Amino acid sequence: MDFKLTEDQMMLVDAARKISERHIQPLLASRGKRTALSRQDVLEILSKAADVGLTSARIPEEGGGMGMKMLDYGLVMEQMPPTVGLIVQPHEATTTRIYFGGSPEQKSKFVPRLIEGTLIGATGSTEPDCGSDPRGIKTTGEWRGDDIIVNGRKQWISNSTVCDVIHITCRIPREEGGYRMGRILVDRSESAFDAEEVEMHGLCQAPLGEVSFTDCRVPRSNICPDDENTARLLTITWLANRPAVGLMAVHLAQKALDMAREYVGVRKQFGKHIGAFQSIQVDLADMETLVMSSRLLCYNALSAIDHDVRANGLSAMAKRYAVDACDRAIALAMRVHGAMGLSAELGLEQMARDVRTLSIPDGTPGILALIQGRELTGIDAFRS
């Protein structure tokens, strides 16, 4: 197995790193760390992300996208600050779901501008009483003439406070009676809804909110085709999203490792650099092992997707392990820095909050463990 990046991959990584260093990181540094970015800031980030294919990674070239290998997608995502990942990833996933699961008219209306980054996308699945089990969704639509009237709430929705279109999952009436699970594209320019920012433990610059639909009138043309692909489309995007979130954690942990390695070469105690002490070297070795193993697990899951290998368990394992391992690595970096590691000035305490925030999106650790367990045993813990 060749672990060396190809020349094209190295060029892609280099381009992503330069965009991050020259444009994105300065923008984030100039804004309040505890305040969500504005709509204009998000549009600027998306325009830069589009330059390296992050707004259209899974859309084929004939559809106007990059048609990236998922491993290449992960390589690029790792170069971006996790705040950007939590903006770009749900936007790209929304674009992907519309492209593969929308009508020709819906694709024409939304996809090109979402790829350009001139529209902001969001996906609303989670509700106050419904997280990992889509069967519990309560948001409903009811027919009223040629429109459908949506009522319900969606919670923990990335980009919801700044988005132009939100792809929601809800219950839609069947003509023969009862309800089916369906997907609706709610265009903010024609269907008003409320979105309120939710203050978070970490990654506070990434807009996150609770959405309320109260008699929200949506044209029938914005209902996605009933092809019974709702759950499948969500699952397909989650498979790549999970190791990508893991690589967001790797980004933070690698930065923490770099900071610790530099610090032990300048900080002195008892007449010598602290990097000369065996306990410090053990901490650094543990940190590097945690970072490297996390990175390789995520790359492995993404590569499996590229090779059409069933990746449900691999994807779940990669995200769950990477976030926990990188949380540990950052904690070790804080310990190596002593009291300085606890200071707001250094930034490690912010990174510690950020990495723990990554444990929830696209599957909690417990849910991911059960997905992996299902793959190992063939027994589904979610279904009785």
pLDDT, tens digit, for every residue of 181-201?
Answer: 899 999 999 999 999 999 999
Q: Does residue 2 lie within any of the structural domains?
A: no
- Which residues fall within 8 angstroms of residue 60, CB to CB, at 6 or more apart? 67
My answer on whether 360 and 256 are in the same domain is: yes
Pair 79, 110 in one domain = yes
In this structure, the answer to whether residues 253 and 369 fall within a common structural domain is yes
Q: Are residues 126 and 169 in the same domain?
A: yes
Structural domain count, the chain = 3
The whole-angstrom separation of Cα 191 and Cα 165 is: 10
Specify the DSSP element, H or E, that contains 253.
helix 230-263
Both 193 and 105 in one domain: the answer is no
Name the percent of the chain in helix, strand, coil, to the closest 5. Answer: 55, 15, 30
Task: State whether 101 and 30 are in the same domain.
Answer: yes
Q: Identify whether residues 42 and 129 lie together within a single domain.
A: no
Residue 383 lies in a domain: no
Domain around 212 = 122-222
Q: Domain boundary residue among 222, 243, 273?
A: 222
Q: At what angle do helices 104-116 and 82-101 cross, to 10 degrees?
A: 160
- pLDDT 10s per residue in the chain (384 long)? 778 999 999 999 999 999 999 999 999 999 999 999 999 999 999 999 999 999 999 999 999 999 999 999 999 999 999 999 999 999 999 999 999 999 999 999 999 999 999 999 999 999 998 877 777 899 999 999 999 999 999 999 999 999 999 999 999 988 788 888 899 999 999 999 999 999 999 999 999 999 999 999 999 999 999 766 555 666 677 899 999 999 999 999 999 999 999 999 999 999 999 999 999 999 999 999 999 999 999 999 999 999 999 999 999 999 999 999 999 999 999 999 999 999 999 999 999 999 999 999 999 999 999 999 999 999 999 875
Query: Do residue 260 and residue 360 come from a single domain?
Result: yes
pTM, two decimal places? 0.94
CATH number at residue 50: 1.10.540.10
Q: How far is CA 143 from CA 176, 217, 246, in A?
A: 13, 10, 41
pLDDT for 234 equals 62
* Domain-located, residue 160: yes
Residue pair 80/111 in contact (Cβ under 8 Å)? The answer is: no
Domain boundary among 68, 96, 120: 120
- Residue 368 inside a domain? The answer is yes
- Burial class (CB within 10 angstroms; exposed 0-12, middle 13-18, buried 19+) of 119: buried
Paired residues of 144 in beta bridges: 147
Could you say which of 194, 222, 250 is where a domain stops?
Answer: 222
Residue 384 lies in a domain: no
Same domain? For 284 and 205 the reply is: no
Residues 235, 364 share a domain: yes
